[in-house]
Chains A and B, each alone.
Chain A
């Protein structure tokens, strides 16, 4: 038998619980004294921001669901009732709708931070792959959530996206009919999308939990990309990073509030304020901004199945990224060639975003194809090759000595170190 946990907490109630179920010890270990590299920049805020966003989305979503009706004849009106009659309904809905965009902004920055500083490399491969699962779940959740107001874009977005599956030979059409629960997007589709839109965020919470477990096994990467070598390289998570994350959180909430209160429909499409009409397609179907790059990849391939495969492939390639990048050096700071390519890749993704927002004609098609080609070239060809060719810059000795060893005694830092007086 394992026996009771020997708790160090003084408070008798906390101690009693902790002895039998050491959650307090665990929380203290993982979030209070957890040794964290001392050299994080503000890009390391975004994991915490994403977690908070997920919580806000679940909270607002639960209360919205209390007033929403997932029925094709009533969904649109029920959303309008939320906007007009439910106390603070407009705030809940605008916070939730803009929250989706905020969530993707935060997660995309989080991902590109990982790409720049090589956070996907050994030993953090599994951590990274769980992150890609989170991205996929987020995309599914966001897509189904967008269908719920049952406006024109909801309806036709659902039609186009579900039709992607019809590209697969033999089973494609059967899959689409199964997804719809009928022969077109309709009432059964709306009901099941609502059900799944409510379920998936909780699955997401579970996967985020695994993401954090994996993170706490390997420890965080850091802007230098080198391993923690001694306690001097780290700080306890609390208060140093709880307070630093709080600063980022405040700024992030300001950005979010700016949209919710002053430009609530900035990210939205006017067509979604027209009730769904199964007999008339809007003149231009554009997905939400966070899907535009994938949409551009889809349209860049002049073949239905090919486009669908490339689109899914653009995310699936991230799963094998840890093995495609052959360089042992993590941070782009010490990889001159990779650093350049990273920015080319960022620009390619942004270009794809703009391509996705425009009609596929003229130069847009060319730009879309070039950017799509680069996107895959980057991961599949350039990363494996430059890892071998590139000569990285000399790495610093440790996080506490960022550049070259200097004279003098050890620098203060670490979990318990505290200067006796101000220097």
Chain B
């Protein structure tokens, strides 16, 4: 009977489960596989490529920021991509943010590093009114808010193409390989030489997408480098602690049989 139970269990649950799980990725294959260009922040020791993140900030500022907010982030957060205090101050000062004037009326003032990134639209209604009813999502945590993370955002930015023959596109919709359902309201945002990089890097679509995804991943996880560095130390400490604790355990138990 004991010998019979294992095959019974296997027949009942394990086998069909294995079959179904094997079939699941196959079904996912039907969807376009996300590209994985390889990221500087991959892996337990990964860090943000500062130059890429700074170029990415430029892409965000010149392209994305026209529609997408970054409302959880502050200008001061730019120190994490290697910008100096003076640079951050200048960047913030070039943007004006709403305030209340001395006369009590709405007014504008130059932003400070301690201000949140200025949103392109004052509220959701204004955004929808300006954009044909579509709402551009806030990008503060976008790489954490999508299945596939950075690969997905990169996939959408580089996934524009002509719709396959016979596909009926909705009014004002664009075909995109990575977007679920393949119909996206956002027109292709990046083109070759859309921005001019100060460091001379050639601004291809792939390069721009790669850079802005690096920047957005930083904005979504500003703690990442500290987190991983702390994590490595903690793992080493815990491994040593486990070792000595186990040694003590062996000693304490050595007289028990």
- Name A residues whose Cβ lies closer than 8 Å to a Cβ of B: 38, 77, 80, 83-84, 90-91, 94, 235, 239-240, 243-244, 246-247, 250-251, 253-254, 257-258, 260-262, 264-265, 270-271, 273-274, 283, 336-337, 339-341, 343-344, 347-348, 350-351, 354, 358, 363-364, 366-367, 370-371, 374, 411-413, 418-419, 422-423
Cβ B77 vs Cβ A246 within 8 A: no
- Determine whether the beta carbon of B253 is less than 8 Å from that of A336: no
Interface SS, B side: helix
How many residues in B have their beta carbons less than 8 Å from beta carbons of A? Answer: 53
- Contact of B180 with A by CB under 8 A: yes
The answer to whether the Cβ of B161 comes within 8 Å of any Cβ in the partner chain is: no
Task: Report 6 cross-chain contacts, Cβ distance below 8 Å, ordered by A residue.
Answer: A80-B72, A243-B245, A261-B234, A344-B9, A347-B9, A363-B19
User: Please, which residues of chain B bring their CB within 8 A of the CB of A347?
Assistant: 9-10, 12-14, 17
B129 within 8 A of A: no
Tell me if B168 is interfacial: C-beta within 8 Å of chain A: no
Contact, CB under 8 Å: B141 / A80: yes
Check B5–A367 contact: CB distance below 8 A: no
Instruction: Report the bound CA distance from A422 to B227 in whole Å.
Output: 47
Any A CB within 8 A of the CB of B8: yes
CB-based nearest B residue for A275: B138
Are A343 and B17 in contact, CB atoms less than 8 angstroms apart? no
**Shortest Cβ distance from B51 into chain A, in angstroms?**
23
**Residues in B neighbouring A244, C-beta threshold 8 A:** 249, 253
Known: A343-B6, A418-B255. A283 touches B13 (CB 8 A): no
User: Of B59-67, B101-109, B143-151, B199-207, which stretch is located at the interface?
Assistant: B143-151
For B242-255 the 0/1 string (1 means CB < 8 A from A) is: 10011011001111
CB distance B72 to A77 under 8 Å?
yes
Contact with A along B60-103 (1 / 0, CB 8 A): 00000000000011000100000000000000000000000000
CB-contact partner of A246 in B1, B180, B249, under 8 A: B249
Contact (Cβ within 8 A) A336 B12: no
| Contact of A262 with B231 at beta-carbon distance under 8 Å, contacts A84-B77, A250-B241 already known | yes
Give the shortest distance, in Å, between B4 (CB) and chain A (any CB). Answer: 7
Give the 8 A-B CB pairs with smallest separation, nearest first.
Answer: A340-B5, A261-B231, A273-B145, A250-B242, A344-B9, A90-B223, A351-B13, A336-B2
Residues of B within 8 A of A80 (CB): 72, 140-141
Closest to B180 in A: A283
User: From B16, which residue of chain A is reached at the shortest CB distance?
Assistant: A367
Contact of B21 among A251, A354, A370, A371 (CB under 8 A): A354
Main secondary structure of the interface of A (DSSP, over half): helix
Q: Is the CB of B255 within 8 A of A261?
A: no
B235, CB-defined interface residue at 8 Å: yes
A257 contacts B141, C-beta separation under 8 Å: no
For B8, the chain A residues whose CB sits under 8 A away are 340, 344
- Inter-subunit contact A270/B145 (CB<8 Å): yes
Q: Is the CB of A264 within 8 A of B255?
A: no
Kindly supply a per-residue 1/0 record for chain B positions 217-257, scoring 1 wherever the CB is within 8 Å of any chain A CB and 0 otherwise: 00000110001101110110011011001101100111111
How far, in whole Å, are A347 and B14 apart by their CA atoms in the complex?
Answer: 7
Q: Which residue of the partner chain B has the closest CB to A246?
A: B245
Whether A354 contacts B72 by the Cβ 8 Å rule is no
Would A38 and B235 be within 8 Å (CB), given that A243-B249, A262-B228, A350-B13 are in contact?
A: no
* Bound complex: CA A88 to CA B10 (Å): 46
Q: Are B20 and A364 interface neighbours, CB within 8 A?
A: yes
Residues of B with C-beta under 8 A to A246: 245, 249
Contact indicator B257/A411 (Cβ below 8 Å): yes
**Cβ of B44 < 8 Å from any Cβ of A?**
yes
- Is there an interface contact between A270 and B146, defined as CB atoms closer than 8 Å? yes
